[in-house]
A = this chain, B = another copy of it.
Amino acid sequence: MATIKEVAAHAGVSVATVSRVVNKNGYVSEDLRLRVTEAMHLLDYKPSALARSLRRQESLTVGVLVPGLNQPFFAALVTIIQTTLFAAGYRIIICSSEESSDDEAAYVDMLIRQRVDGAIIAPTGRSSEAITPLLSKIPVILIDRDLPNLPVNRILANNFQGGYDAMEHLLRLGHRDIALIGAQPHSASMDQRIHGARRAIADAGMAANSLRTLISERSEFDVGYAFTRDLLRRKRRPTAVFALTDVIAIGVLHAAAEVGLKLPDELSVVGFDDIPLSSYLIPSLTTVAQPINRMGEAAADLLLSRIKEGHPEPFESLLLDMKLMLRASTVHHRRGA
């Protein structure tokens, strides 16, 4: 691969001049500029980002650390973050910890060695241990999942409000016996959703035990199905289910369909996340939409501004509203909706 020296030699100028042409700064005569660009094309010269980063002491790279690329929510989030940052001249190194704190720590270490200029992190687990090494070195944005009491920037969605709205919706429809189903990983976000739901129950003047809370230790895929099948066998069936994620809700729908329940009349279901598929389910799923695009863009923008200013502070927190999407799993809907 051609280096700046070869280009300089080929054009009969110094490397400094080539550098000036490449970066469009400093003075260089039209004559030489032409000779240099010609040589660059001829040799197919591509400046080494490595060398440039080393000298400039900035890598134009940011780390994005998520608990699982397989989760549609994070896939969407990463996509928007990547698009936004690439447009601003940054590349991203994506790390998927697969909900393992050990892997998370390993990735953090790698990002430090890689000298990334900043990081956007949706942490796994409840401890900040794995990511603290980063905090003192570069700007960090916590996204989607909070870690309390940490001096750091945050972009969060209002899970409390989302949980509240979902539950309030069910209560307004007249449901008085509701099951709440959750699974692993049981993050702070999940806690918030549950708290919101409980608050809605309390605000409606109902007893706390009118909400049955079922949290599994297993991962979300099977849980909705298993719990619901179980619930539907009892003498006292709940009339509605609030699933803490859409994937769980899909399992709920499955179990309900299996015993021939008519939705939303015999059972109403609310999910959480609004993954792309939820409007295509049968019946389409009422769910709480995360403002994914706004979260991703806000995180990217906030990180960029912190990088420009040279350091993390002042810390900023953004709490974005969730939006309840009414669909056929709780209300009768228009044809084709």
Q: How many copies of this chain does one complex carry?
A: 2
Q: Please, which residues of chain B bring their CB within 8 A of the CB of A96?
A: 79, 82-83
Contact A46 B83 (CB under 8 A): no
Contact A59 B69 (CB under 8 A): no
The distance from the CB of A21 to the nearest CB of chain B, in whole angstroms, is 16
Q: Which of B50, B79, B113, B277 contacts A47 (CB 8 A)?
A: B113
Q: Which of B46, B50, B75, B277 contacts A53 (CB 8 A)?
A: B50
Contact B93 A92 (CB under 8 A): yes
The distance from the CB of A72 to the nearest CB of chain B, in whole angstroms, is 7
Contact A280 B250 (CB under 8 A): yes
Q: Please, which residues of chain B bring their CB within 8 A of the CB of A283?
A: 257
Q: Please, which residues of chain B bring their CB within 8 A of the CB of A319?
A: none
Q: Please, which residues of chain B bring their CB within 8 A of the CB of A107?
A: 86
Q: Does A163 make an interface contact (CB < 8 A)? A: no
Q: Which of B76, B95, B110, B225 contacts A70 (CB 8 A)?
A: B76
Contact A75 B82 (CB under 8 A): no
Most buried by B among A50, A51, A225, A280: A50
Q: Please, which residues of chain B bring their CB within 8 A of the CB of A221?
A: 276, 280
Contact B113 A48 (CB under 8 A): yes
The distance from the CB of A288 to the nearest CB of chain B, in whole angstroms, is 19
Closest to A59 in B: B50
Q: Does A109 make an interface contact (CB < 8 A)? A: yes
Interface of A is mostly: helix
Bound-state Cα–Cα, A106 to B86, Å: 10
The distance from the CB of A324 to the nearest CB of chain B, in whole angstroms, is 21
Q: Does A1 make an interface contact (CB < 8 A)? A: yes
Closest to A63 in B: B91
Contact A83 B98 (CB under 8 A): yes
Q: Does A251 make an interface contact (CB < 8 A)? A: yes
Q: Does A253 make an interface contact (CB < 8 A)? A: yes
Contact with B along A75-88 (1 / 0, CB 8 A): 11011001100100
Bound-state Cα–Cα, A107 to B86, Å: 9
Closest to A133 in B: B44
Contact A114 B91 (CB under 8 A): yes
Interface hits, A250-267 → B, CB 8 Å:
250-251, 253-254, 257-258
Contact A115 B49 (CB under 8 A): yes
Contact B110 A91 (CB under 8 A): yes
Contact A75 B70 (CB under 8 A): yes
Q: Please, which residues of chain B bring their CB within 8 A of the CB of A68?
A: 79
Bound-state Cα–Cα, A98 to B280, Å: 21
Q: List 12 A-B contacts (CB under 8 A).
A: A1-B137, A48-B115, A49-B115, A51-B54, A54-B54, A69-B69, A82-B94, A92-B93, A92-B94, A94-B94, A221-B276, A254-B282
